Amino acid sequence: MRDLNTLQRKASAHGDHVGAYAAAVLEHPLPWTKMRQVYRLLGLVRRHGAGAADDACRRALDAEVIDVGLIERMLSRGAGEQLPLMAKPPATASRFVRSATDFTVRRPS
């Protein structure tokens, strides 16, 4: 049966952001055409866990991207485990650095 409210409640049970993402998917003039995407989202929650899916939905909602395929790619590639930014190493002198006097122009006086 096509019951959007039950589907919305199932998604909300897995986290606030998953529920908000499901609501955003179902905001369509013909919402029953998007029910399969919400079922796919619920499958991703079962496969990858509610915490990881909730985090992925939060990041997608922050970027205002409503695409369940994106959530799947984020979860399968492990986009939640981003490495911390490394500090740039200090600049070292190049091997072929020449002194500034090598470039002075000698003019006859």
Per-residue pLDDT tens over the stretch 67-78: 999 999 999 988
| Residue percentage of the chain with pLDDT more than 70 | 88
80 has a pLDDT exceeding 80: no
User: Is 17 part of any domain?
Assistant: yes
User: Is 53 part of any domain?
Assistant: yes
User: Is 64 part of any domain?
Assistant: yes
Question: What's the total number of domains in the chain?
Answer: 1
Q: Which domain holds residue 20?
A: 4-77
User: Is 21 part of any domain?
Assistant: yes
User: Is 103 part of any domain?
Assistant: no
User: Is 97 part of any domain?
Assistant: no
Q: What is the pTM of this model?
A: 0.69
CA distance 61 to 56: 9
User: Is 71 part of any domain?
Assistant: yes
Residue 108 has a CB neighbour count (10 Å cut-off) of: 3
Inter-residue contact 60 to 72 (CB < 8 Å): no
pLDDT computed for residue 84 by the predictor: 56
User: Is 98 part of any domain?
Assistant: no
pLDDT computed for residue 69 by the predictor: 93
